[in-house]
Amino acid sequence: MSKTSPEARIKALRAEIDRHNRLYYVDAAPEISDREFDRLMDELISLEKAHPEFDSAGSPSRKVGGAPIDGFVTVVHRLPMLSIDNTYQPSEVREFDTRLRKLIPGSPVAYSVEPKIDGVAISLTYEDGVFTRGLTRGDGEKGDDVTANLRTVRDLPLRLLCDNPPPLLEVRGEVYMRRDDFTRLNDSRRADKLEPFANPRNSTAGSLKLLDPAQCARRRLRLFAYGLGSVEGIRFLTHAESLERFKEWGLPVNGHIRLVHSVDEVLEIIAEWDERRASLPYDTDGLVIKLDDLAARERAGATSKAPRWVVAYKFAAEQAVTRLKSIDIQVGKTGALTPVANLEPVHLSGTTVSRATLHNADYISQKDIRVGDMVVVEKAGEIIPYISRAAHDRRDGTEQPFVFPSQCPVCGSAVARDADGAVWRCQGRECVAVLKRRLRSFGARAAMDVEGLGEEMVEQLVDSGLVKHLPDLYRLGAGQLESLDRMGETSSRNLLAGIEASKGRGLARLLGGLGIRHVGETVAEAVAGAFGDLDSLMAADEGTLASVDGIGPERAASLRGWLSDPENQKMLLELRELGVRVTADGPKRQLVAAIAGKTFVVTGTLARFDRLGIERAIKDLGGKVSGSVSKKTDFVLAGENAGSKLDKARELGVKVINEAEFVELAGL
C-alpha cells in the first residue's frame, strides 16, 4: 500500500479539524480532547510549512492568526449596510406592524424575532464556499477589511460545509465576545497594568482592529450570522430558510431566534425577554424583529437610513441622575422649537452628558420637569441623551416651572402649534435661524451639494443680509461677496462656481434639500421619479401623491400642504427662473451596445475609477456587475494587482480587458 501523499494528508487533516471545530464551537459536543486537537493542528501547520504549494485561504490553520499586517484597507460594501430603526415601547412595535402591513398589502406577514447581539456588525464574503473577505460596517457604505482578524474568530467557518456552494455569498452577522471571555481578558489586562475594556462590545471592536491576527486569535471572538448581503447563484424565499441553510453550512446561528405569525406573539416574546437575556453568556441590548418573506421585504423598501421591514426593540437603557441647570430653545430648519436641557455634567454609558433633549413643550409640562430639578437622563439608542423624568421627591422648593416662549427666541415672530402634534414652530417667514439651517441642508452633499457653502459662509451670507430668502443664493454676484469679511477673490469665485454647478442637480435633490417635513432623500427621489418635472408634481393632488410607492398618506399630506403654500410656490418659480433645473434625472447615459446586458467582474486597482465609480459607470451604461467569475461572465476588467479572479477568468476562457480597453468600449 502506498504512503499517503502530503497533499492528501493535508486535505484529510483540514477536513478533520474543521469537523472538530464545528463539534466544539457550534454543536457544543466535542469528541476529542484539546490536546488531541492541538496535535492535529500542529501536524497540519508543519505539513503546510513544508509544502507551501498546497496553501489555501480556507485552511483551519489560519485560525491561529497569520502574519501581522500594516493597516486596514477601506472597501466599498457590495450592498450598503443599513442601520435599524429603534423602538423602546411595545406600542411602537405595534405601530411598526401596522405601518408595515399597509406597505405590503396581500403579502404574508411572519416575523423572525432575534436577540440583538451587542457586538460589532460585519460582512463576510464567501466565494465558491471559501471565506475570502470580511469587512466592518464602517459608515455603512464602506468598511475596513479585517479579514485576517476574522479568520481567527472561533466559530467562523473558513470553508462552507457544502458540496455545491454558490459562487458568491455575503453573510451579515455580529462578532461578539462572551462575558466569561471578556472577564478573563480584563483580568489579564489588569495584571499587565493595561487599561481594562469598558464592555464586551468595546473589546470586540478593539480586537478586530489589532494589527496582529495572532493576538486577535487569543481574544476568543465569536460569531452569529443573521442575514444575507449580496448573493449570486442561489435564491432564498424566506429569511428562516436562509438561516436554516446557514446552519447546514456550518455558520453559527443564534439558538433563540423564533418565527412567529402575529405582532401579539412578538410582544409576548418581548415581555419574556428581560429575564431570559440575563441568563445568556453574552450581552444583548434588545430584540430585532424582521419580516420573514424576502419578496415582501423588497416591496416594503427602505429609507436612506434603514429598511422598513425591520425594527429593533431596545431594552431599557442605562440611567443617570443629575441637575437640570437651564433650558435653551433651538430653532430647526422647519422652524420647530426644541427645548434642550443644560445639565450638570454626568457620566452615562461611556460618555459625559451635559445637554439632553426635552422633546417639546407638552413633554415638559406632562412630566412636570422644572429648572433646578434633579432629573433622570437616559440614552435613546445609546446615543442621544434625553430626560426621562424629574425626581420630584428630591425637590427643595427652589425649582422653577419652565415657561415655553410665545415668540421665536431668534426672530421674535409668533410661534404656533402644529395642527397634528405637540411641536411649536416659528411662524416668521424670515427667521434667520430657520433660514440658516435651511441653507445648510439645501447646500449639503446629499441635497444640492453647493461647494463652498459651509457653516461659516451661511452665517455671513445671512447676517450680512445678502441672502434673505433661499433664491437669493442664485442672485449673488462677485462684487457683493467680496464685501464680506475674510472673503478673498478665490473663495468668492469658488462659491459662485459651486452655486452655479448646483443648478443642474435635478428635481429629486432640490426637493430633498428644501426642508419639507417628512420629505427626505428617499421620498424626494420617489416623487421626482414618479412625476418627472415640477409642473406635473404641482398638478398632483394628495391622493395621487399618496399612491407613489413608498410615500403613503402622511408624507403626501405634508408635501401637498407645502406645495400649496403660495410663498413656497413663489420660491420654486423663482428658483426655476434663476436657472435651477426642476426636472428629474432620466437614465444617466445612453446605453452602450458593447456593455448593455453584459456581466462584468472587476478585479484589482484601477487608475481612473474607485470601486463604486466603476460599478456605477458599468450600470449606467446598462451593464451588470458581479462579484465572482463564472462561465456567464462576459468580461473581467482587470486592474493592477489583479489576483485569483484573473486566474479564474483565464481558466474559464472569459474575456479579460484592461481599463483602457474598457474606456474605449464604453466610449468614455
Binding site residues, ligand IVH, CB under 6 A: 82-84, 114, 116-117, 121, 174, 226-227, 288, 307, 310, 312
Cβ–Cβ under 8 Å, residues 581 and 503: yes
Phi, psi of 329 (to 5 degrees): -115, 125
Phi, psi of 605 (to 5 degrees): -100, 130
Q: Rounded to the nearest 5 degrees, what angle is found at the Cα of 416, between the Cα atoms of 413 and 421?
A: 150
Chain centre distance of CA 574: 36
Residue 207 and residue 209: Cα distance in Å, rounded? 5
Task: Using CB positions, name the residue nearest to ligand IVH.
Answer: 121
Instruction: Please say which residue, 284 or 492, places its beta carbon nearer to ligand IVH.
Output: 284
Instruction: Please say which residue, 307 or 561, places its beta carbon nearer to ligand IVH.
Output: 307
Instruction: Please say which residue, 303 or 464, places its beta carbon nearer to ligand IVH.
Output: 303
Least separation in angstroms between CB 577 and ligand IVH: 43
Phi, psi of 604 (to 5 degrees): 80, -175
Inter-CA distances, 608 with 82, 505, 615, 621, Å:
28, 23, 12, 17
Least separation in angstroms between CB 307 and ligand IVH: 5
Cβ–Cβ under 8 Å, residues 57 and 133: no
Least separation in angstroms between CB 528 and ligand IVH: 25
Inter-CA distances, 560 with 319, 476, 556, Å:
41, 30, 6
Least separation in angstroms between CB 100 and ligand IVH: 14
Catalytic residue among 63, 116, 142, 314: 116
Phi, psi of 158 (to 5 degrees): -80, -20
Instruction: Please say which residue, 197 or 226, places its beta carbon nearer to ligand IVH.
Output: 226
Instruction: Please say which residue, 122 or 508, places its beta carbon nearer to ligand IVH.
Output: 122
Least separation in angstroms between CB 121 and ligand IVH: 3
- The answer to whether residue 116 is catalytic is yes
Provide the grid cell at 176: 461578539
Residue 423 and residue 409: Cα distance in Å, rounded? 15
Residue 356 and residue 372: Cα distance in Å, rounded? 15
Instruction: Please say which residue, 146 or 606, places its beta carbon nearer to ligand IVH.
Output: 146
Least separation in angstroms between CB 117 and ligand IVH: 4
Least separation in angstroms between CB 80 and ligand IVH: 9
Query: Exposed/middle/buried for 308, CB within 10 Å: 0-12, 13-18, 19+?
Result: buried
Least separation in angstroms between CB 116 and ligand IVH: 4
Q: Are strands 258-260 and 111-117 parallel, antiparallel or unpaired?
A: antiparallel
Residue type, 528: A
Helix axes 552-564, 566-577, angle to 10 degrees: 70
H helix intervals, 194-262: 200-208, 213-217, 239-248
Residue 75 and residue 37: Cα distance in Å, rounded? 36
**Residue 443: count of CB within 10 angstroms of its CB:** 24
Instruction: Return the exposure string of 42-54: e unless at least 16 CB atoms fall within 10 Å of the residue's CB, then b.
Output: eebeebbeeeeee
Least separation in angstroms between CB 274 and ligand IVH: 17
Q: Rounded to the nearest 5 degrees, what angle is found at the Cα of 352, between the Cα atoms of 350 and 354?
A: 150
DSSP state of 414: B
Least separation in angstroms between CB 83 and ligand IVH: 4
Chain centre distance of CA 579: 35
Instruction: Return the exposure string of 3-19: e unless at least 16 CB atoms fall within 10 Å of the residue's CB, then b.
Output: eeeeeebbeebbebbbe
Residue 559 and residue 515: Cα distance in Å, rounded? 11
List the catalytic residues: 116
